[in-house]
Amino acid sequence: MALARSSSYEVQLYQVDHWVLDGRFEDEAEARNHAKRILSGGKVEGYRIVRDWQRPDGRHIETELCSEFRAQSNALTISPIDEPPPVCRTVDQCYTVESRMVMNRLLRTYVERLVVTPTEIMHNYPELKRLLDKDNLVPTAVGRVAALQAEKAGLDGRERRDEMYRLVDAVTERARKASARQDLPDVAKSGFGPAFEALSKKETPEDRTFYAKVLVSRDLVQMRNWLAKLDYLAGLVREDGGLAEEPLELVDGIIADVLGAPSVAQELLGMQRSLAEALCNLLDLSRGRLVADGRPDDDRALMLSELLAFNDLDETRLVILDLVRRQLRSAQPLYRNDPAAERDAFDAVLRRATGPDGMLGGGGGMAEALVQRYMRFLEAGGATGRRQSINEVIARLPDAKDRVRFLLALADSDLGRQHADDVTAALRQLTGDVTAVARFVSRDQPIKANLEELTRLYRQVAESTAPEPLRTTLAENIDDLLCAYIVGSRVVERLDNPDDILRHRANRLIQLCAPGTLQSRKALDIVRQRVVAHLRQPNFEHRYIEDIVDPAVQQKALRDFFKLLGDAGFR
């Protein structure tokens, strides 16, 4: 009787590439009859029955009891990929986020139909065995990846295929041995953090990470619902006020796997008015800044956004941005049924993808995808079309700093390297005219904010992957722009007002020299010269504190000032 009260039976229908809950029943036979009637109607591809059992501690355990598909849609196939994945030479490389992202794409139909992540497959032996026994999925996937890698990296296709089979065997054997371990801690009893610590005491760091994922996978495979998996993993992140760095990094990778499943983003965000709106929301989500916009307080997308805002979930963020990048490269319109709105939709995505910290996603992938998307608006193709697209995309960014950051990111992509001369010329032209400094600053901002933003741009250029001598030339150009702004806006004169007491004047100037405000050589020299002029005047220390009466306060003021001098590099 207790089992009947704590269990229910869900009928889930398979539609296109994801599962949809159709109904919940108290009786298993009733659920089976209902599902068979729907399948016989010919309007759905398949069904499955999932028993939802509530444990005494309140947790829910889901177990798939059966599934059935229409004959014409029952076949599981490998999805095409056009980008060769990184070449794995060791077993450890098979578990990286890049490898798991490729698994999610290759095994799209399998992952969606069984609601299972790459982490679960590789760390739970029954799941891995089920995949290996499923038709010819694994041989087909191995053959396709080996062929792509052989073509891209100039490898021997047969040798690469044989090497991949050896890696598959090694991954399988490792999962098989883990399944036989009876001494592993129980996450449900101890919590994930304590279980991780227990593993740390008796396993090597490499084995500890592997077995920790085995523990999480044992729970996840019981959940045949993407959002249930996400809820479970979010609970692990928040456990006891938040996980420590190493276990958090591990859970981050599994959340990334869930987000990599094709239907999860749609389930999270709900109905979107356009692809552009969905991409903007995903970009906001990746930064932990998804707007509530009428969503309920317990909305899972907002929950994930909060996790990303307060935790270092780098792999989750990478997967979200990779989804955006691949959607930009697709043929799907940004605004369906209204071609006139396409460019406005593009501008919205472009604005969301750029910012003071550079292009979201780092590297050149996002910038390249935006250039390729914009080419759909142009009549010209080939090199001419790409060149025109580059020029028009940067012209759509009103802030010259964002243009520089976009071009720097683009330079670090295949398309950017193909058009290195065009990108270099655009960067030189953009930064080489000091009389155009107004394009790099905002009149609506305080001078200090403009100085900090220009200094940030200088640092981004100086630390970029741009080749020499271009990187040095661009950094010097930004330095010249900073100097032009300092002189043109009379920054030093405003800070060093002769009507103010010397202490205030000197403090304001030295703060400009402090780390984080000005860093470029020429701009710093302008301010340093004025500071040095003050320091060299007769009786500087006396004049610095002459308005202070209390000797103790005088000494403290001098100590603080000389500390500022040291922090600013004055010795």
pLDDT digit string (tens) for 240-262?
Answer: 889 999 999 999 999 999 999 98
Q: Both 24 and 63 in a single domain?
A: yes
Decide if 300 is inside a domain: no
Decide if 383 is inside a domain: no
Q: Both 96 and 228 in a single domain?
A: yes
Q: Residue 382: CB partners within 8 Å, gap ≥ 6? A: none
Q: Residue 424: CB partners within 8 Å, gap ≥ 6? A: 411, 470
Domain assignment of residue 560, given as a range: 491-567
- Reduced to 3 states (helix: H, G, I; strand: E, B; else coil), residue 240 is helix
pLDDT for 58 equals: 63
Residue 107 CA to residue 350 CA, distance in Å, equals 31
Average pLDDT of the chain is: 88
Decide if 428 is inside a domain: no
Q: Both 28 and 125 in a single domain?
A: no
Q: Both 30 and 124 in a single domain?
A: no
Q: Residue 167: CB partners within 8 Å, gap ≥ 6? A: 88, 90, 91, 94
Last residue of a domain, one of 262, 296, 328: 262
Q: Both 49 and 155 in a single domain?
A: no
Q: Residue 234: CB partners within 8 Å, gap ≥ 6? A: 255, 303, 304, 307
Decide if 545 is inside a domain: yes
Q: Both 96 and 69 in a single domain?
A: no
Q: Both 63 and 99 in a single domain?
A: no
Q: Both 51 and 154 in a single domain?
A: no
Q: Both 173 and 42 in a single domain?
A: no
Q: Both 99 and 35 in a single domain?
A: no
pLDDT digit string (tens) for 371-421?
Answer: 999 999 998 889 999 999 999 999 999 999 999 999 999 999 999 999 999
Q: Both 144 and 258 in a single domain?
A: yes
Cα distances (Å, whole numbers) of residue 36 to 98, 112, 512:
40, 21, 74
pTM score, two decimals? 0.81
Decide if 53 is inside a domain: yes
* φ, ψ at 522 (rounded to 5°): -70, -40
Decide if 158 is inside a domain: yes
Last residue of a domain, one of 204, 232, 262: 262
pLDDT for 516 equals: 62
Looking at the structure of the chain, the number of domains it has is: 3
pLDDT digit string (tens) for 461-507?
Answer: 999 989 999 999 999 999 999 889 888 888 777 777 787 888 888 77
To 10 degrees, what angle do helices 420-431 and 400-411 make? 160
For every residue of 395-430, DSSP letters joined together read HT-SSHHHHHHHHHHHHTSHHHHHTHHHHHHHHHHH
Torsion sign, CA atoms 355, 360, 365, 369: negative
Last residue of a domain, one of 39, 73, 107: 73
Decide if 455 is inside a domain: no
Decide if 367 is inside a domain: no
Asked if 156 and 150 touch (Cβ cutoff 8 Å), the reply is yes
Q: What is the 3-state secondary structure (H, E, C) of 327-391?
A: HHHCCCCCCCCCHHHHHHHHHHHHHHHCCCCCCCCCCCHHHHHHHHHHHHHCCCCHHHHHHHHHH
Asked if 449 and 441 touch (Cβ cutoff 8 Å), the reply is no
Q: Both 114 and 148 in a single domain?
A: yes
Looking at the predicted structure, is the pLDDT value of residue 64 above 80? no
Radius of gyration of the chain (CA): 30
Longest dimension (CA), the chain: 98
- Across residues 304-331, what is the average pLDDT? 94
